[in-house]
Structure 1
Amino acid sequence: MDAPSPLEVTDIPPPVEPEEAVAAPSDEIPLQGPRLDRIKGMFGEKSDQVREISDFVDKPDFQVPEKMFPPDRYGTPLDRPDGTRTPLFDGTPTREQTRQGELGDCGVIATLGAVAGHGPQDITNAVRESEDGTYEVRFHGAKSAGFGRYEPTGDMIKLTVTPDLPVHSALPDRPAFADSVTTGAAWAPIMEKAVAGLDQTWTEERAASWKLTHNRPDDLRTGYVRLGVGTKSHEHAELLVQLTGVPAETWDLPTGYDYTGRSAKRQVLDHFREKLADNCPIVVGTRKPGVEEPPLPKDLSGGHAYEVTEVDDKGRIHLRNPHNKDHPEPLTFEEFRTSLLPFYTTLEPK
Structure 2
Amino acid sequence: MEDVIDTNTPTKVDWYDSHCFLELTMQKLVRLQRYGEETSMLAIDASNLLDESIRDRRAKWRTLAHRKYGISVEQVSMFLTSDNIVITFFEHSGADVLKPILTRLNSPQTIIRSSNDPSMLVQAVIDVVVDMSVPINKAVDEMFGELESAVLSNPTITQSKQLYVLRSGLTLLMDNIIATGGLVRTLIDHRAVLNMAPSNTDSTGSSASPSPQNANTSVHISATTQVYLQDVQDHITALQNSTHNSIRSAENLTSLIFNTIAASQNESVRQLTLVSSFFLPLTFLTGYFGMNFDPMPVVNEHSDMFFWLIAGPVMLVTAALLVSARMIRLGPLSWKWRRRLQSLGRRKQD
Shorter chain as denominator, the TM-score bin is under 0.3
Higher helix share: 2
Question: Of the two structures, which has the highest relative contact order with CA contacts closer than 8 Å and spacing of 6 or more?
Answer: 1
Q: TM-score, normalised by structure 2?
A: 0.23
Structure with greater Cα Rg? 2
